[in-house]
Amino acid sequence: MTITTVGIIGAGTMGNGIAQACAVSGINVVMVDVSDAAVQKGVATVAGSLDRLIKKEKITAADKDAALARIKGSTSYDDLKAAQIVIEAATENHELKLKILKQVDAIVAPEVILASNTSSISITKLAAATGRADRFIGMHFFNPVPMMALVEIIRGLQTSDATHDSVKQLAERLGKSPITVKNAPGFVVNRILVPMINEAFFVLAEGLATPEDIDAGMKLGCNQPIGPLALADMVGLDVCLAVMDVYLAEFGDSKYRACPLLREMVAAGRLGRKTGRGVYQY
11 is in an annotated binding site: yes
15 is in an annotated binding site: yes
255 is in an annotated binding site: no
Query: Which sequence positions are flagged as catalytic?
Result: 119, 140, 152, 190
Q: What is the pLDDT of residue 143?
A: 87
Q: What is the pLDDT of residue 46?
A: 98
What pTM was estimated for this model as a whole?
0.86
56 is in an annotated binding site: yes
13 is in an annotated binding site: yes
Q: What is the pLDDT of residue 119?
A: 83
DSSP string, the chain: ----EEEEE--SHHHHHHHHHHHHTT-EEEEE-SSHHHHHHHHHHHHHHHHHHHHTTSS-HHHHHHHHHTEEEES-GGGGGG-SEEEE---S-HHHHHHHHHHHHHHS-TT-EEEE--SSS-HHHHHHTSS-GGGEEEEEE-SSTTT--EEEEEE-TT--HHHHHHHHHHHHHTT-EEEEEES-TTTTHHHHHHHHHHHHHHHHHTTSS-HHHHHHHHHHHH--SS-HHHHHHHH-HHHHHHHHHHHHHHH--GGGPPPHHHHHHHHTT--BGGGTBSSSB-
Q: What is the pLDDT of residue 160?
A: 98
Domains of the chain: 5-182 (3.40.50.720), 190-275 (1.10.1040.10)
88 is in an annotated binding site: no
Q: What is the pLDDT of residue 203?
A: 98
213 is in an annotated binding site: no
Kindly give the parts of the chain with pLDDT less than 50. none
